[in-house]
């Protein structure tokens, strides 16, 4: 490997980008302190005083974007965790129960997969508009089926593994094998699923807030900032849209790359036989 290739690999590691994103979302608002609306400084273009310009309320757009990014990341993390836990519980329960219970649960999973996620999310979020818990519920309830399917498929593939058969021959009970062998074996897949869900959660939260059924406009999030920028762009203030859109794009791509890296790391070697 050449020095250039090594440098490219280090720069391309998504976890470094994610670390920089999280650090910016935490440190920038802390260093800037509490912002106060200054309508006399509204919609100023990027310059020496405000590197990313100001929004229609006179807030520094760089600081405001960092605050919005922090809120979006927190909501996305909670959504991904909730969806993963729900999918893990349902997938494990379905695989261990087997028979008609497993078949019924899988039909329910198919039914949830058939529903348009964004439409369901809009309906749930609109019922409690502006409530963070409604956004979390709308995303978690539409993204758990993928986790449940992955966990169930992994458990079914491990059921006939040699080390599981050895445990059965040694006299271990069904639930002992499940608790000590099967469930720990799928935690890696659950982690991969959770990381893969993060960019989806970021996009969905931003979309719901952009459409006006997510967080209230007074709360800074990438979605609310993009929604408010629609009118500002018509006046020529392009930076009010470009800055939060860039933050959203980089964040989603970084988490998607991290999810792909985790999935490759946890994938079994080619030709491996249990």
The answer to whether the beta carbons of residues 192 and 263 sit under 8 Å apart is yes
- Which numeric CATH code is attached to 1-33+62-266? 1.10.3720.10
pLDDT tens digit sequence for 41-96? 888 889 888 899 889 888 899 999 999 999 889 988 899 899 888 988 888 888 87
Please provide the average confidence, as pLDDT, over all residues in the chain. Answer: 81
What span, in angstroms and rounded, lies between the C-alpha atoms of 235 and 249?
24
Mean pLDDT of 134-149: 87
pLDDT tens digit sequence for 209-234? 888 888 887 788 888 888 888 888 88
For residue 167, the surrounding DSSP H or E stretch is: helix 162-169
What span, in angstroms and rounded, lies between the C-alpha atoms of 148 and 197?
13
179 versus 67: which is more confidently predicted? 67
Q: Residue 151 pLDDT > 70, yes or no?
A: yes
Q: What is the pLDDT of residue 4?
A: 38
What span, in angstroms and rounded, lies between the C-alpha atoms of 232 and 56?
7
End-to-end CA, the chain: 33
Q: What is the pLDDT of residue 10?
A: 43
What span, in angstroms and rounded, lies between the C-alpha atoms of 68 and 93?
38
What span, in angstroms and rounded, lies between the C-alpha atoms of 236 and 83?
40
The answer to whether the beta carbons of residues 62 and 44 sit under 8 Å apart is no
CA dist 143 → 102, 112, 212, 221 (Å) = 19, 9, 21, 21
Q: What is the pLDDT of residue 274?
A: 39
The answer to whether the beta carbons of residues 248 and 202 sit under 8 Å apart is yes
CA dist 34 → 48, 67, 75, 217 (Å) = 20, 11, 21, 18
Domain boundaries, the chain: 1-33+62-266
CA dist 265 → 5, 8, 49, 262, 269 (Å) = 20, 19, 45, 5, 10
Q: Residue 106 pLDDT > 70, yes or no?
A: yes
Three-class DSSP category at 253: helix
The answer to whether the beta carbons of residues 262 and 194 sit under 8 Å apart is no
What span, in angstroms and rounded, lies between the C-alpha atoms of 104 and 8?
49
Q: Residue 9 pLDDT > 70, yes or no?
A: no
Q: Within 13 Å and on the Cβ side, how many CA atoms surround 214?
A: 30
The answer to whether the beta carbons of residues 30 and 71 sit under 8 Å apart is no
Task: List helix spans (H) across 34-131.
Answer: 61-97, 99-114, 117-127
pTM of structure: 0.80
């Amino acid at each position: 490997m050449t020095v250039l290739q090594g440098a490219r690999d280090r720069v391309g590691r998504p976890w470094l980008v994610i670390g920089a994103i999280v650090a910016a979302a935490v440190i920038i608002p802390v260093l800037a302190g509490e912002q106060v609306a200054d309508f006399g400084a509204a919609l100023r273009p990027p310059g020496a005083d405000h590197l990313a310009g100001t929004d229609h309320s006179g807030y520094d757009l760089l600081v405001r974007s960092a605050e919005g990014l922090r809120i979006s990341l927190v909501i996305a993390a909670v959504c991904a965790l909730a969806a993963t836990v729900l999918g893990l519980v349902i997938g494990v329960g379905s695989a261990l129960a087997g028979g008609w219970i497993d078949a019924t649960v899988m039909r329910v999973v198919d039914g949830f997969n058939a529903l348009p996620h964004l439409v369901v999310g809009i309906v749930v979020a609109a019922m409690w508009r502006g409530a963070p818990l409604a956004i979390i519920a709308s995303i978690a309830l539409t993204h758990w089926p993928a986790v449940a399917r992955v966990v169930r498929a992994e458990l079914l593939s491990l059921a006939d593994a040699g080390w599981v058969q050895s445990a059965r021959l040694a006299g271990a009970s069904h639930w002992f094998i499940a608790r000590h062998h099967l469930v720990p074996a799928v935690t890696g897949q659950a982690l991969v699923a959770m990381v893969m869900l993060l960019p989806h959660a970021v996009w969905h939260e931003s979309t719901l807030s952009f459409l006006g059924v997510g967080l209230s406009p007074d709360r800074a999030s990438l979605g609310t900032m993009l929604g408010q920028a629609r009118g500002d762009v018509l006046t020529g203030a392009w930076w009010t849209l470009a800055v939060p859109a860039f933050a959203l794009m980089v964040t989603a791509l970084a988490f998607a790359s991290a999810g792909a890296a985790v999935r490759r790391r946890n994938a079994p070697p080619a030709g491996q036989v249990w």
